[in-house]
Structure 1
Amino acid sequence: MNLKTSSNLETRSLLDELCNFEKGTVFDLGHPLLNRITHCFLNAAGIGAVQAVARDAYFTAIQGTGVDGSGGIPPEISSVKKNGFPGLRGETSNKSLEAMVKSAGKESLQWGLAAGMYSGLTYGLKEARGAHDWKNSAVAGAITGATLALTLEDSTHEHIMQCAITGAAISTAANLLTGIF
């Protein structure tokens, strides 16, 4: 009986750790900054992969519906389709699957890097300044937005600045709205 309770406790503690993944109990890299960056990277990477697969499923579903004369894709999103999935051209299912996996991998990496960078910057600024406020969020959002703009193929100075301003605005708004809803 004691052995059975012990195995249940071991199983329960493993399940508790997996259920409490957001608390960072599954991995410990030895420093809270590394734990936080890794945690945010993994969560956002998963979201990015799901987003890429959902977008691909949407484009696949509307491709044959004949919404307009350009192969079924509405004009307002046809440029996204052209730029988003260059490998999906109605070839064999293996090529389409390979293109989708590459796209999901790229998206998950981009989302993960953005979340990890933002989280690491806000943590570092909090430690350096001794306060967690909207200023940390604004700086971290601006740096993350500018860095993401640099990953695009045709990034201009104006585009980088626009992404930095947008990143700062979104992260500041999120910080100020925390606790309201």
Structure 2
Amino acid sequence: MPHRRFSGSLTAPKVDLFLDLGNPFLNLTVDSFLKIGTVAVGKAAAEEAYHVAKRGSISNHNFEHSLKKMCKEGAYWGTVAGLYVGMEYGMERIRGTRDWKNAMIGGALTGAIVSAASSKSGDKIVMDAIAGGAVATAAEFINYLT
């Protein structure tokens, strides 16, 4: 039986913004804030568009609520991303090497700081630090595989 094969690739346009703030730490942190913050805004916009389609209409109040949610999500996730990248870069500079341990420590510190800022429970802070370190380490190992 004849067999056909399709080969090709799909690429998206690459948009890159570079701000030179005169310091690599600041450059990486702000870049991460902007990139992940933009993704979070897009996610919130898609969710709000779904809710508008489901309701069938949008009011002025709902529109303002949607914009506030988009800004809040973008600022929150952008801040977390900027904090993580800053922590990882800081660990790289302190330790003098670039490896998965920087991601683990940076993720743990980020998890602890974000948790401490939003919660007062010591156990919750420790659990979030463990989760942050685990997720960052797993992402680093997956990145090595690809």
TM-score normalized by structure 2?
0.79
Aligned twin of 2:30:
38
Q: CA RMSD in A?
A: 2.3
CA distance in 2, matches of 1:159, 1:63: 37
Structure 2's unaligned 5+ residue stretches are: 1-13
Is 2:129 the partner of 1:161? no
Match of 2:86 among 87, 107, 120: 120
Residue 42 of structure 1 aligns with an amino acid whose one-letter code is L
Higher Rg: 1
CA distance in 1, matches of 2:82, 2:45: 21
Aligned twin of 1:100:
66
Cα offset, 1:94, TM superposition: 1.0
Cα offset, 1:114, TM superposition: 0.7
Q: Secondary structure at the match of 2:22?
A: coil
Is 2:50 the partner of 1:58? yes
Match of 2:115 among 127, 145, 149: 149
Aligned twin of 2:8:
none
Percent pairwise identity: 35
CA distance in 2, matches of 1:93, 1:102: 14
Question: Per the alignment, do residues 20 and 106 of structure 1 end up closer, same or farther by CA in structure 2, a change over 3 Å counting?
Answer: closer
Residue 173 of structure 1 aligns with an amino acid whose one-letter code is A
CA distance in 2, matches of 1:62, 1:157: 41
**1:94-124 C-alpha deviation (Å, 9 max, x unpaired):** 1111111111111100111111111111111
CA distance in 1, matches of 2:131, 2:49: 28
Aligned twin of 1:172:
137
Structure 1's unaligned 5+ residue stretches are: 1-18, 65-89
Question: Per the alignment, do residues 180 and 156 of structure 1 end up closer, same or farther by CA in structure 2, a change over 3 Å counting?
Answer: same
Question: Per the alignment, do residues 134 and 52 of structure 1 end up closer, same or farther by CA in structure 2, a change over 3 Å counting?
Answer: same
Give the paired residue count. Answer: 133
